[in-house]
Amino acid sequence: MPAKVLPYLLLLPATLFLLVFFVYPFVQIAWLSVSGPNGFSLQPLTTMATHWKFQSALGWTLLLAAVVVPLQLVMALSMASIVTKLERGRNAVLYIFSIPLGLSDLAAGIVWLAIFEQSGFLNSMLAGLGVIDRPILFLGYQNIWVIFLAVVLAELWRATAIVMVILVSGMGLIPKEYYEAGEVFGANAWQRFVKITLPMLRPSLQSALILRTLAAFEVFAVVTALGGTTLPVLMGETFQWQFALQDRNVASAYAMVILAISILATLFFLRVLRVPKGATI
C-alpha cells in the first residue's frame, strides 16, 4: 500500500464518525434553536429568554462555576504539590486522590444526598453533638442556599481530582534544575512555587481550567439528585424543555446558550493564560 494514502485511510473512520455524529448534530442544533414549524424564527430564543426560570437558571449556573472552579484550582494545586513532594507511599496516595475521577456526577449527588438528607449523616452528627433536637430539612425548597452549598461540596468532592491529575502531570514536566537554581538564589518554598511552578504550569492550568469550567456549565445530575428542580440550572432546564414541555426548539436554544458561554470561557482562558510563542518546555 502506498505510504501516502495510508495515513488518510487510518484517519478516515474517525473523521467520518466525527462529521456525522459531532459536526452534523451541531449544525442541526443551531438550526433548531432559530427555527419553528415554518422555517426561520426567533420564537425559541424569545420563548426561552422570557421564561421566568431562564434568568435564575443562567445565574445559578454561572454562580456555581464562579464558586466551584477557583476553589477547585486552589485545592488541586495543594493536592498536586503534596503528591509531587511525596517520596514514600506516592502511588497509594495518588490512587486515593484520583478515585473521584471515575465517579459520575449522579453518583456524587447520591453520595452527598446520604449526608444531607433529613435522616442523613449530617443531621445524625449534629444530633449526636447535641446541637439540634430534631432533624433539619436541609434540602427543602425554602433552603435554596443549603442546596447550593451541598451542590458546591459535591462538585468539589467529585471533580477536583481531574484538575489535580492534569496539574500533577504538568508539574512532572518542569525541569528540576529550575528549582535548584531557585534555591541557590535563596528563594524559599513559597517563592519557588509562585515564581517557578505557577508560570511553568501555565499550559496545564489552561487546559485544566477550560475543561473544568465547561464541565461546570454542564452541571446537571448532581443538582437533580440533591435539589430536584428547586435549584434551576441550564442543563436541567434543557432536559425539562426536552421532556416535560416537549419543545425541542427551546431545548436547543438552551443548548446554544450553554455553548455560547462555553466558547466565551474557552476564549477567556486561552487569552489570559496564553503561552508566549517559543516559551514551551
Partner 1 sequence: MSATADTPRPVEARSAGRFLFIAAIVLICAWVLVPIYLLLVNTLSSPSQVSAFPKTGLPGWDFGSIQFFMGFAGVLRALWNSLLVAVLTMILSIGIGAPAGYALSRFDFPGKEAFRMLVVMTRAFPLPLLALPLAVLFIRTGLDDTAIGLATVHTVLAIPFAVLITFSLFSGIPLELEEAAWTLGCNRLQAFVKVVLPLVLPGIAASAVFAFTISWNEVFAAAVLTIENRTLPAFLVQSLNVSPLHLKFAGGAAMVIPALVFIFAVRKYLFAMWGIANR
In the window 32-51, what residues touch partner 1 (CB under 8 A)? 32
Residue whose grid cell is 507511599: 89
Q: Give the binding-site size for partner 1 (rule: CB under 8 A).
A: 102
**Residue 132: φ, ψ to 5°:** -125, 155
What minimum distance in Å lies between the beta carbon of 2 and partner 1? 11
CA nearest neighbour of 106 among 239, 232, 225, 235: 225
Q: Does 21 bind partner 1 (CB under 8 A)?
A: yes
Q: SS3 sequence, 93-113?
A: HHHHHHHHHHCCHHHHHHHHH
3-state secondary structure of 70: helix
Instruction: For the beta carbon of residue 211, count every other beta carbon within 10 angstroms.
Output: 16
Binding segment (CB under 8 A) for partner 1, from list 43-51, 60-68, 98-106, 139-147: 98-106
Q: Does 131 bind partner 1 (CB under 8 A)?
A: no
What minimum distance in Å lies between the beta carbon of 45 and partner 1? 15
> Of these, 45, 93, 136, 144, which contacts partner 1 (CB under 8 A)?
93
Interacting residues with partner 1 between 189 and 248 (CB under 8 A): 189, 203-204, 207, 210-211, 214, 217-218, 220-221, 224-225, 228, 235, 238-239, 242, 248
CA nearest neighbour of 163 among 112, 222, 207, 127: 207
Interacting residues with partner 1 between 61 and 90 (CB under 8 A): 78-79, 82, 84-87
